[in-house]
Amino acid sequence: MSSDTSDIELEYDSTEGYEDDEDAIDLDSNDPSSDDGDGSSFNMVPMATQPTKPLYQVEYSVLQESELTQRQIREIEHVAGIIGIASKDAALVLRYFGWNKDLLMEKYMDSPEKVFRDVGIRTDLGLNKPSSSRRRTRSTPKFVCQICFNDEPNQETVYLPSCPPLPKDSDPRSRSASSYQSVKHEFCRDCYTYYVEAKIKEGESRTIECMESECKQIVDENTIVNLLTVRDANLPESEKLMGRFQTLLNRTFVDDNPALKFCPAPNCIYTIECHVSKKSLDTVVPSVTCHCGQRYTSFCFGCSLADHQPCICPIVKLWLQKCEDDSETANWISANTKECTKCHSTIEKNGGCNHMTCKKCKHEFCWVCTGVWADHGMAWYSCNRYEERDEHGKDQQSKSRASLERYLHYYNRFANHEQSLRLDKELHAKTEKKMEEIQHASNLSWIEVQFLNKAVETLSVCRTTLKWTYAMAFYLEKNNFTALFEDNQRDLEQAVEDLSGLLESPIEADTIADLRQKVTDKTVYVHKRNEIMLEETARDYQDGRVFWNTHFKL
């Protein structure tokens, strides 16, 4: 399956609706040399040309539920053919090993008997017999179900062929146990069906066990399907349960496969396949976009959070934790308060006087040097003992204050772009209104005024990038890469603000053509600056030029 590219690129590939070629927005040019800083010129990429995939993009596929089901069937048939067992047993084995075929085959080659024993498959029943030849139901002439105590003659009963037999004289359910070659874990069909239905409603699928007390045998998929589909009296309910059962099987299949992940959007039915390993998340930001209709809502395959390019997952985790926990409150306390030197209560200085009195123990001391106030003589408002204060304490307070100021520098800019992203939702509504105004004031069609909508969408994408560059910059070690990174960050931010200002411009009939050209050019330029930011950072990750001032674990 071919890889997906972001919606923003697909959107801008289209030149439909522009009367002249020079009006078309081309956002696929990856040539930084064509960037002259004002967006007035750029290279046109022919529509037939397939551009090279940027470094910051990863290969991925979007799968539907039916594709997940078919993939499971193929895996089951493949393993069944290799090992020579029935499909239902192959399904049990695969699910037991979490769909890890390599691990399965390794264990199977070591000891096939142990694999079957651990999974709960009886080898004395003929493993290569087709599933359909295994009896699961039968009409029993004399039987009492120990769940509902139904003793109706010739009632249909259910049992699992692979369950271990009970001693004949210990079976309390059968009135003629001697007539059976081996006694099964057998119950009436209605009770078994209700049991399976209840388990599915509880969210179970692959771990539904035999109804017999303490029996760990897993009910195979064929038996469950047979129980759910034969109840014609309540067909809609059966279909609903069958659908839920298949959904649960798909969910376990995805959960067991590190290359698969559900789209985190509410009620989305799609699954993303991306073969990016966990150990590569220190240099790769696997941003993917689902087909669920929530436009421009990409997410990170590595951590399932919203798209955070170009910041890698471990740094995102550190940043979010830093923003949420009390570490910065502690920094503020360290920078703006001191402990009483006698009782160690925390005291905040709320006035200009350096003469402090602890409310708890009434100890009097100097705020500047924390020395006993009586030793200061008449120098109440300026400490002449400053030279004698502990240098370590002074350094610690200065470091705490500097650390807090540095954090606030990056956090305020991060939060500003986050707030701007929320306001962009309102900007979308304003843009729709402005597009209508332009139509009424000119002879442009609805397609021709889409340049405003594209500009707003570009702003949203670029503000997301900018937001995470500040989180990333907070943890960057100062070097040549940092200087170039901050230059690209500054250029992108300036371009974003320029475009945002253009979108706030008042609409006048005689300036619409000029506004359209300026917004179109600036949109191209902003998109190009964003591409440069992401591409250069991805290349620096790849070449090992990015160093952090902190440690993290993948």
Residue 544, Ramachandran bin (φ over 0: left; ψ between -120 and 50: alpha; else beta): left
CB neighbour list of residue 178: distance below 8 Å, 6 or more residues apart = 168
Q: Dihedral of the CA atoms 251, 257, 261, 266 (nearest 10)?
A: 10
Q: Cα(549)–Cα(474) distance, rounded to whole angstroms? A: 9
Which residue is catalytic, options 290, 353, 361, 383? Answer: 353
DSSP 303: T
User: Which strand (E) or helix (H) includes residue 234?
Assistant: none
Query: Could you confirm whether 353 is annotated as catalytic?
Result: yes
Neighbours of 393 (CB within 10 A): 12
User: Which strand (E) or helix (H) includes residue 66?
Assistant: helix 65-83
The tokens for 327 are 């570490």
CB neighbour list of residue 521: distance below 8 Å, 6 or more residues apart = 38, 39, 40
Helix (H, G, I), strand (E, B) or coil at 324: helix
Residue (of 4, 43, 98, 7) closest to 524 by Cα position: 43
Q: Got the DSSP string for 408-426?
A: HHHHHHHHHHHHHHHHHHH
Q: Dihedral of the CA atoms 224, 227, 231, 236 (nearest 10)?
A: -10
The tokens for 522 are 């600036």
CB-based contact 331:407 (threshold 8 Å): yes
CB-based contact 175:149 (threshold 8 Å): no
> Catalytic positions, please?
353
